[in-house]
Amino acid sequence: MRILVVEDNAEVRAFVEATLRDAGFDVTGVETCAQADASVRDGGIAGIVLDWMLPDRPGIDWCRDLRRDGNSTPVLMLTARGEVTDRVAGLEAGADDYLRKPFAAAELRARVKALLRRGPRLTDEIIRIGPVVVHTSARRVVAGRDEVHLTAREFDILETLARRRGRVVRRSSLLLSVWGTDDESASGSLEVLIARLRRKLAEAGAPDAVRTLRGVGYSLRQES
């Protein structure tokens, strides 16, 4: 799998590239959003590790444009910012996960593998829950008559809920299934992504599709 690393700090970029190559990934490193655009246009990118601050424009703005163009490639945002509001901003822009600098090589490997671990399926299972239709192999979602464009992590959350067919999925189970961990950072990201997923489904004609049981977990409503 080819990973695109967008980081202008040469030392950090070299560390990230070496860490991912040691994990068996094919890595391309660039230092600007313009170079990242060219790499994405070339195709074959399975995942993106993206720095928040870049020389030509903020990485968060580039990520937002990527999503507006319909590109759902998994994005792991790197930043020295530590405030919850910053993490929320990154996730709202379309990032799938968030890693605060400085970070250990083992944590970087784990986060990237968690984003990419769901490989292609040989058959396309179709799961219908009320007005929501999930095509598992194509990673495509339709609500009513409209297609819903989700990021990789949003899709993983929805698929996990859909596979339970209306039953409640506990927060800890959802975190472990999608992130591979139930730590504080993943838990905070889950709340933001659930809100974003709920909004996208509502805009496509499936309001209140995601049901929250406070202190327990989440489920998809079965009624149409």
Instruction: Express as a percent the part of the chain with pLDDT over 90.
Output: 47
**CATH class of the structural domain 2-116:** alpha beta
Looking at the chain, which residues constitute the CATH 3.40.50.2300 domain(s)? 2-116
Q: Mean pLDDT lowest for which of 68-82, 84-98, 118-132, 171-185?
A: 118-132
Q: What tokens does 43 get?
A: 């195709």
CATH number for 126-220 (one of 3.30.470.20, 1.10.10.10, 3.30.1330.120, 3.40.50.970): it is 1.10.10.10
Q: Is residue 137's pLDDT more than 90?
A: no
Q: Is residue 122's pLDDT more than 50?
A: no
8: confidence class by pLDDT, cuts 50, 70, 90? very high
The pLDDT value recorded for residue 205 is: 86
Q: Is residue 138's pLDDT more than 90?
A: no
Report how far residue 35's alpha carbon sits from residue 144's, in angstroms, rounded to the nearest whole number.
38
Q: What is the dihedral of CA 22, 23, 29, 34, to 10 degrees?
A: 180
- The alpha carbon of 192 is separated from its chain's Cα centroid by a whole number of angstroms, namely 11
The structure's pTM equals 0.68
Q: Is residue 108's pLDDT more than 60?
A: yes
* Over residues 44-57, mean pLDDT: 93
